[in-house]
Chains A and B, each alone.
Chain A
Amino acid sequence: MKKQLFQLDRRTFMAGLATSVALPGAIGLSAGSAFAEAQTPKRGGTLTTVAWPGTTYMNAAITTSGPESFLSPKFFDGLLGYDFGMVEKPALATEWSIAEDGKRVTFKLRPGVKWHDGEAFTSKDVAFTFMEVLKVHHGRGRSLFADLQAVETPDDLTAVFVLGKPAPAMLKALDGRESPILPAHIYAGTNIMENPANTKPIGTGAFRLASYERGASVVMERNPDYWDEGKPYLDRIILQYIPDASTRTAMLEAGQADIVFLNFLPALDTLRLAAMPDFELVEAGYETSASNQQMDFNLEREIFKDARVRHAIAHAIDRQWIVDNVWHGFGVAGASPLHHDQRAFYTTEGVPQYALDLAKAEALLDEAGHPRGANGVRFELTIDPTPYGDESLTAAEYIREQFRQIGIQLNIRTQDYAVFIKRCWTDRDFDLCLYTAAMGADPTIGVQRFYWSKNFKPGVAFSNGSSYSNPEVDALLEASQVELDPDKRREQFAKFQQIAMTDLPTLPVVHTTRATIGWQKVKDHTVDALGSLGNLANCWIDG
């Protein structure tokens, strides 16, 4: 029966393929095709997708964890959306303007927007959400909105953000995933973390919650009163939580799921399916969750105080090899502390690069006073790869072999996630620490924390783990926090990238890319920088 279904689908798709610009198997090229075709969207249909792990809440205003990040934008809108390249576009706010001094940001809100329960959306909701929820309960919001002193509401459709100092990064964090707007009439005066609406969302978003079975599934249905006329196109989105990655692959292959977002399939399975004509791989639409795999040198260790040792290690690791064989092509060789999706600021111009050169690595180590001993070993190090996913452990196995060739004996230490976090950021009992972390929609949000000396905070995970301190870098990072001129800000980050890659307290290993793999019939799921982490209002099913 499965086979019949498959053939039927295949026939339908062959017809569609004739007009499609997507070349099956041409992974790099197919990225644009989902949104490049000018077909008329069809209304109706159900989109089924799978993910893991299950969610705790339904809104991402009170948590930064992954499952909520995906769900929240379906139920809730943000003030802004983002086109490719993180260019702001209207959502709940239709216009916005920044005062000369950068300390007042005025948002004109969209009229006629209703909450799912029929109440009208007003500027009170905006003020409440930022002042009482995001500033207090959101992991990144606490620091991002630290200088937000008040949200003034001169009328129902105007919200004015009053800032202690300019905050250019803030404008990149106002979407429904990062800063969803919650209804004040439901949350005001309640214990926000305990509010039942956290699992029974009432938003302004394109979809409403139809049913939720904890740890098993979330069913969303179309919001007929959505402010974006005629959207969403889908009647329903069904999200099933499936713990086993191979089962997720099998479900997509059998047509029990239409699409899988956020790399929820093993990389090799994704590539195998992408090579089939019925499936399409899209690597765009993850700009707000750009992540780097990086390796911290513990600069408190005597041996790493010499930059030559750090440079030698960088010369011994072929980052492209790790991209190809550990990430199976889903990434770009690490070349900057930023991520390449931070397009406005990312640069490799004038930024020192460390090409694979074992002879040079050995020369640098000799020069630094670490000759090979009688057994060929110069010194011994331990690496702690994060137990989150396999990629860090596998990359560590590769690094160990590279180190062996330049006379460094590397031991790999594995442990559970809690012990790993405690060892690297609290006890600081490590030499090298390898992990993947989000770089944020803006470098101030995600990158600064690893390099700013004031963020060397033992006890805080994913802070400045190398204990790097360079006054020049601190000055650049602090200036970029409040710089309103985009060109000056770009210069500051360019200089920062040059210095950070010269000092090399942290080695960027891979700028990872994420992928969506789905049946060809699913159209327009990735239409902007937010992709599947947006509201999927433009998504439709052909056939």
Chain B
Amino acid sequence: MTVGSQSLIVRLLRHPSGLVGLLLIALAVGMALGAGFFFPAGPWTMAGPPRLWPGQNAAFLLGTDSLGRDLAAGLFHGSRVSLAVGASAAVVSILIGTVVGSLSGYYGGWLDDVLMRLTDAMQTIPSFLSAIAIVGIVGPSLPTIIFAIAIVSWPMIARLVRAEFLRLRTYDFVQSCRIIGMSDMRIIFTQILPNCLAPIIVASSVLVATAIIVEASLSFLGLGDPNAMSWGTILGNGRAALRTAWYMTAIPATALVLTVLALNLVGDALNDVLNPRLKERS
């Protein structure tokens, strides 16, 4: 299972869907990094005439929205918010999920029962509805949205990690660690966890994709942070003009579709690359 990072990237690039996915993600990250350089005035400036179609004016390649804001600027700056929310929410839910899953899987017994019933309870709540409820109660701001998404998506990771721990804790190398008197925490974090990183990494790419979609859906419904322009915000703003100026929704929607597709492609490729049984195929 010890795969050097160098060769992991190389093998991902050799994988066809991995290559496409990584290129698209690189593009999205590039947009986020270059947003300030290409559009220093920010996404909110009402720079041009409202409802300008793409290509109508060379200064606004992707056109303007109904308030005259440059859609290209929105798309670039929006990628910052969308990617940041996606990544942060994924990191937070992986942290929660890993801690719950590893404790539950390693110790078993009553702790396992308690934590798994909690996880079950969380999974019975429709995740998007509870995200809406959390944002509705606490009030829409980026930290709230990240928290809301994380809170509804950790159970999946917890179950995954628990399953891996249940399998690995019976292995001889874990038993030998116990015999030499290693502490539980050390066994969990230095011995077992590194061995179940592969499925976590694969799941995390899907998690980022889901988080981006949830954030976009919240913003589309008007529950996004009104002071942060994300792709979902542009989508929501364009909704009223769907029949007369469909490009306002089509442009951010395309960005969302491509990013989510890219993350899923990379997830698939990672699954292939990290799975030793499939090594020959990759």
Contacts and interface: CB of A to CB of B under 8 A. Distances in A.
A268 B226 CA distance: 23
Contacts of A416: 136
Interface of B is mostly: loop
Interface of B: 44-46, 50, 66-68, 136, 139-140, 222-223, 226-227, 237, 240-245
Given A398-B46, A414-B223, 5 more contacts: A246-B243, A268-B240, A271-B244, A394-B67, A401-B45
Contacts of B222: 387, 390, 393, 414
A325 B240 contact: no
B226 A266 contact: no
A269 interface: yes
B242 A401 contact: no
Given A325-B68, A401-B44, A412 B226 contact: yes
A249 B44 contact: no
Interface string A379-400: 0000000010010011011101
A413 B244 contact: no
Contacts of B243: 246, 249, 268-269, 272
A401 B227 contact: no
A97 interface: no
A516 B140 CA distance: 35
B23 to A, nearest CB: 34
9 contacts: A249-B243, A266-B240, A268-B243, A268-B245, A269-B244, A272-B244, A397-B44, A414-B139, A414-B223
Q: Which of the listed residues B44, B237, B240, B241 has the most CB atoms from chain A within 10 Å of its own CB? A: B240
Contacts of B241: 268
Nearest to B225: A414
A263 to B, nearest CB: 12
B46 A414 contact: no
A190 interface: no
A396 B227 CA distance: 11
B226 A414 contact: yes
A414 B145 CA distance: 13
B67 A397 contact: yes
Contacts of A394: 66-67, 237
A163 B66 CA distance: 52
A415 interface: yes
A394 B66 CA distance: 10
Nearest to B224: A414
Contacts of A348: none
Contacts of B44: 397, 400-401, 404
B163 to A, nearest CB: 40
Minimum-distance CB pairs A-B, first 6:
A412-B226, A268-B244, A266-B240, A414-B226, A325-B50, A268-B241
Contacts of A398: 46, 67
Contact of A390 (B50, B223, B227, B240): B240
A433 to B, nearest CB: 15
Contacts of A404: 44
B226 A325 contact: no
A515 to B, nearest CB: 15
B68 to A, nearest CB: 7
A411 interface: yes
Nearest to A325: B50
A24 B94 CA distance: 59
Given A401-B45, A401-B46, A415-B139, A393 B226 contact: yes
Nearest to A326: B67
Nearest to A411: B227
A65 B72 CA distance: 42
Nearest to A322: B67
Contacts of B242: 246
A414 B140 contact: yes
Contacts of A411: 227
Contacts of A396: 226
Contacts of A397: 44, 67, 226
Interface string A100-139: 0000000000000000000000000000000000000000
B249 to A, nearest CB: 12
Contacts of A419: 139
A381 to B, nearest CB: 13
Contacts of B140: 414
A413 B242 CA distance: 26
A36 B242 CA distance: 34
A341 B109 CA distance: 74
B227 A325 contact: no
A413 B67 contact: no
Q: Which of the listed residues A267, A268, A271, A419 has the most CB atoms from chain B within 10 Å of its own CB? A: A268
B60 to A, nearest CB: 16
A326 B240 CA distance: 11
Contacts of A267: 240
A267 B51 CA distance: 14
A272 B244 CA distance: 7
Nearest to B236: A390
Given A268-B244, A401-B44, A325 B136 contact: no
A397 B66 CA distance: 12
A489 to B, nearest CB: 40
Contacts of A415: 139
